[in-house]
Structure 1
Amino acid sequence: MQNILFILNEAPYGSERSFNALRLAINLNEQEHEATQLQIFLMSDSVSCALVRQKPSEGYNIQQMLDILLAQGAQVKLCKTCTDARGMTDLPLLEGAEIGTLDDLSLWTLKADKVVSF
């Protein structure tokens, strides 16, 4: 089993970087020839990807994509420093997503077979 860490930094909408990262993560989970364990660490403006009740007017829905990944067994953590800075630490998050720390990211990085940053 491969352990792959995704580090996201971009806001969920406005640029497609977070969207493309989550597309790749979902696709990796769908590959039949190799089992993967995905960990997704949201930093900077990407912490808003894990907020509930997203209602994009058209196109992709980041909340749904994270819900799919969580249902597939991915772990999702948000940088506490980043959520604090944006006043988001006490806001409701997607079920299964949790606030993490730089120590969590460091441990995930050390244990990862691959690290992908968007």
Structure 2
Amino acid sequence: MNTQQTLLFILNDAPYGSERSFNGLRLAINLNEQDGVETQIKIFLMSDAVTCALPKQTPGEGYDIQQMLEILLAQGAEVKLCKTCCNARGITELPLIEGAEIGTLDDLSLWTLQADKVVSF
């Protein structure tokens, strides 16, 4: 059975400190690897999760959020960051992981309406 699912992941937590963003990204990667189901993954980073898209973070050990986002982007996922959240944290002008871009609430609204499933972490 070959079906297509559009999945929207909304992440809210910082990349390190809790494992919520890690768990959301790992689920997204795993869903992309399921046989018989074609997925279209969209990831919208809000609140402190916007810092997930900042490059060159060096986690001590364990998981690497930049690497996970790069895997998803290479698999065709779209990644956007909330502009308001970026402005509030002073990161709007900082470089982002290649392929990630700043988006708006309008983008999130459209993605939500287009999604078959919305998952929030």
Q: TM-score, normalised on structure 2?
A: 0.97
After TM superposition, the runs of 4+ consecutive aligned structure 1 residues lying more than 3 A away are none
1:40 aligns with 2:43: yes
Q: Which residue of 1 aligns with 2:17?
A: 14
Aligned residue type for 2:39: T
Partner residue in 2 for 1:85: 88
Residue deviations 1:4-62, cap 9 Å, x none?
00000000000000000000000000001100000000000000000011110111000
3-state secondary structure, aligned to 1:58 = coil
Aligned to 1:25: 28
2:113 is matched with which residue? 110
- Counterpart of 1:58? 61
In 1, Cα distance between the equivalents of 2:57 and 2:65?
A: 8
TM-score, structure 1 length as denominator? Answer: 0.99
Q: Distance in 2 between matches of 1:32 and 1:75?
A: 21
Which of 78, 90, 95 aligns to 2:98? It is 95
Q: Which amino acid aligns with 1:4?
A: L
Once residues 76 and 63 of structure 1 are traced to their aligned partners in structure 2, the CA distance between those partners, rounded to angstroms, is 12
Q: Percent identity?
A: 78
Aligned residue number for residue 71 of structure 1: 74
Number of equivalenced pairs = 118
Structure 2 residue runs without a partner (length 5+): none
State the alpha-carbon separation in 1 of the partners of residues 19 and 55 from structure 2. Answer: 19
Q: Give the aligned CA root-mean-square deviation in angstroms.
A: 0.4
List gaps (5 residues or longer) in structure 1. Answer: none
